[in-house]
Amino acid sequence: MYVLFWLVSELLHLYIWAVIIAAVFSTLVSFGVLDTRTRFVWTIGDFLYRLTEPALRPIRNFLPAFGGIDISPIILILLLYAAQMLLWRIYGAIAFGDVRNLVL
């Protein structure tokens, strides 16, 4: 049982890093540090976009426009950390039978 919860937690952690890398990559592209005409850079950007955009799009649709500032990655990271904490509380309740552990 522990291994399953650990695996899900690690996948959430890796996804958090993917969101951070995608945000940094997007910033570097917008400032012209990285050139997306290069096939390797374009491939990395496309991979990160396809990986993170399904989670970021609903947040962007919900948030009002802040001009050129995109805070959706920050909100997604906070939600993923909250999901990790909830996951471990659920594990504690299942493994140790402590229902008080589920109280947020």
What does the pLDDT read at residue 2? 86
Range of the domain at 77: 2-102
Q: How far is CA 1 from the centre of its chain?
A: 24
Enumerate residues 6+ apart whose C-beta is below 8 A from 18.
Answer: 48, 51, 52
Q: How many structural domains are present in the chain?
A: 1
pLDDT digits (tens, 9 = 90+) for 1-51: 889 999 999 999 999 999 999 999 999 999 999 999 999 999 999 999 999
pTM, to two decimals: 0.87
Over residues 64-68, mean pLDDT: 81
8 A C-beta contact, residue 62 and residue 75: no
8 A C-beta contact, residue 13 and residue 84: yes
Alpha carbons 23 and 49: distance in angstroms, whole number: 10
- 102 pLDDT above the threshold of 80: no
